[in-house]
Amino acid sequence: RATCAIAQSPGPITDLPGTPRGKLSVIGIGPGSDEWRSPEATHELISASDWVGYDLYLDLVANLKTSQTEHRFGLGKEEARVRHAFNLAGQGRDVALVCSGDAAIYAMAALVYEVLDSNTLTPPEQRVEIKTLPGISAFQAASARAGALIGHDFCTISLSDLLTPWATIEQRLQAAAEGDFNIAFYNPRSLKRTDQLQKAIDILKPHRPPETPVIIASNLGRLTEKVKTVAFKDFNPTEVDMLTIVLIGSSQSKILTRGDGKAYCFTPRGYANKKENLQ
């Protein structure tokens, strides 16, 4: 059942009261290359009225800019960024909150819901349409460039203890080591956080053969891209900086050096074993 009220206006209605329902798109633009950005992300960026994001990420999509208003933020202040985006969307605007990689993987999408859940938003902000846009994350790009390290079960762990207590991270590291997962380390190191990666390596050491492949990758898909594959025993954590992602294989992962001298790495799914069992 529904009730409907109808009325006739004496003239055309032009001055409508209220504001349209705003929209907040949390957009994963991929690692940086246009070739890895989803068409969905491109279309949402083009149709948005406002772009909110960290300077570097807005630079990466600058070639798409037409009439959008930019709201640039420095590193950090993530919550201020999200609240600003809600504020604009609450005014009926079509807001793109720009993230690198996937919008949910160590980016802003979870924080958008965390802020929404905190009951600190105004009613118009609380009503905005929210859309999360997935994207290719750095671990996927790093694995692809170096072969197929994530060819079997994997996990991602952020080594930043700014928001997560180190004891929780250590528990995850221990679990990932014992579970023999391929592991991607996000936020492995910063200027202030210099010890975490070495501690992580120490936890992994008893569980990984010395020849386990390690991928060290930065600026994926950009002109300054660097990707290097080394054996676990030769990995030097002090080579890693805050723009780098580190992938470590499972005990089954292998390095394969091809005829051109380049090293590739992969984690077999087990077809070779299957054949042996059948013999």
Which residues from 119-138 bind a copy of itself, rule CB under 8 A?
126-127, 130, 132-137
Q: Is 114 in the site for a copy of itself (CB under 8 A)?
A: yes
Footprint (CB under 8 A) of a copy of itself, residues 32-71: 33-40, 43
Footprint (CB under 8 A) of a copy of itself, residues 157-186: 157-158, 162-164, 168, 171-172, 174-176, 178-181
Write down the least CB distance from residue 100 to a copy of itself, Å: 14
Q: Is 112 in the site for a copy of itself (CB under 8 A)?
A: yes
CA distances from 40 to 26, 68, 108, 140, 146 (A): 12, 17, 18, 19, 27
Q: Which is nearer to a copy of itself, 174 or 194 (CB)?
A: 174
Q: Which stretch binds a copy of itself (CB under 8 A): 54-62, 188-196, 226-234, 266-274?
A: 266-274
Q: Which runs of consecutive H residues, i.e. helices, occur in the chain? A: 39-47, 55-60, 78-90, 109-117, 123-126, 138-146, 166-178, 196-204, 271-278
Q: Which runs of consecutive H residues, i.e. helices, occur in 151-236? A: 166-178, 196-204
Q: Is 153 in the site for a copy of itself (CB under 8 A)?
A: yes
CA distances from 103 to 31, 63, 212, 256 (A): 11, 20, 30, 33
Q: Which of 218, 203, 196, 239 minimizes the C-alpha distance to 139?
A: 218
Rounded Cα–Cα distance for residues 37 and 34 (Å) = 5
Q: Which is nearer to a copy of itself, 11 or 74 (CB)?
A: 74
Write down the least CB distance from residue 207 to a copy of itself, Å: 11
Q: Is 116 in the site for a copy of itself (CB under 8 A)?
A: yes
Footprint (CB under 8 A) of a copy of itself, residues 81-100: none
For residue 155, how far is the Cα from the chain centroid?
13
| Number of residues near a copy of itself (by CB under 8 A) | 81
Burial class (CB in 10 A: 0-12, 13-18, 19+), 273: exposed
Q: Which is nearer to a copy of itself, 8 or 277 (CB)?
A: 277
Q: Which is nearer to a copy of itself, 70 or 153 (CB)?
A: 153
Q: Which of 49, 150, 66, 134 minimizes the C-alpha distance to 100?
A: 134
Write down the least CB distance from residue 140 to a copy of itself, Å: 4
Q: Is 155 in the site for a copy of itself (CB under 8 A)?
A: yes
